[in-house]
Structure 1
Amino acid sequence: MTTRTPAEDAGRYTWTGRLRERVVRTMPPEQLMPDEQPAYVASWIYVFGVATLAALVFIIGSGVVLTLEGPQWYHVSSVGHFVNSVHLWSVELFFVFMVVHLWGKFWMAAWRGHRAMTWMTGVVSFLASIGAAFTGYLVQTNFDAQWISGQAKDGLNSVGIGAWFNVTNLGQMLLWHVALLPLVVGLIVVWHVLLVRKHGVVPPIDALSEATPEETSS
């Protein structure tokens, strides 16, 4: 039986103490920050999840620079053109890696072992990312963005959402792209990674000998 200090006993009666105990109980430190992984993680199919996260870091970093400097900078400056290109190609690689990751996990039945929520958060983050990419095309402040918004306007109006999602309103689309949708994507991605840490990476279907008791019983 473990003994508790008076400070630990006092912490049980505060909301912060109860929250800390619940977090540690749900996600032990050695599970949150593991220093080793199963042998099957050496397969290339497990690389694309990390590659997606790496591309997301470049998207956020280059996007912050573009936001600080503004359209006048990245339309006329050579450095601005470079940062803008980094942002574009990071998005392209992000979607390539994410699609491969999602399809790979689909054919691996990655929802096994009580990982259904892990799978669903990945799918939802993909859908939210599509919205973020679409609004990104709309805020380029060039003729390309004008043409895309003009083509999308009638379609969105026809389904009744054009009144509050006005693709021809640059200010509104800029806030969707810079503030709201990146926040949604970021929160879901963090949730997804925490679920992966909690349940572990899904083993291959034929790797039952290395699976946890949860996988063998499901």
Structure 2
Amino acid sequence: MYILRHVEAALHVVRRTRATTTPERSKTIEKLARWEKQLTYVQGAIHKIESKLRDALQKKLDTALDAEMLVTALFQPSTKNLFMEMEAHFCRSERPPIDCEALSGLSMLPDLARAMALVGDAALSLAILHHLWKEQRLEVGRLTVGRANLVSNEHLAHICDDWKLYENRIHFDPPTDSKSEIDHIKGTLVEAVYGAIYISHGLPEVQRLAARLIE
């Protein structure tokens, strides 16, 4: 798996660099220790997504999920700085000890996740409109309200809880008690997974799954 392979390679470089850094460079050692801790967490989170979450979701949804895209969908913006910091540290030398192109790719994962969420939002909205129109032939106003209710963050948050996406997201966010903020994150996670499904299987599969939201 591309993502996991490059995370593990980066972790290896950080550990090797930390082991060979002299004690007087305490700030560098502290920074390397933080990166090692964060990369170890990311590595474990990816393993958990691959070994548990993906299988559970595939059974629940009765659809195949691309492992790479599912992992990408769960990368949060707060992970971006880790890889950008590492890139700035390691990639300034003429012969960097790390794959700088891979680091750049890892730093872009949250942006890809947002793009997938945008695609998923559009596909899900269209799929829901398809079902509402097919079953009820509602007027424009009621179609708009019906669609808005079904794709609201509050409604998608319940799906996120059922799919266990929130607790499996890859992030370094501080804790928050804001329900609206949490619901927004949950809604975006669900949209990103729908984006992955659309990219892999097309609109008909999104329509099939969207029918469950209306039942």
TM-score, scaled to structure 2: 0.33
Structure whose residues are more often helix by fraction = 2
Higher Rg = 1
TM-score, scaled to structure 1: 0.32
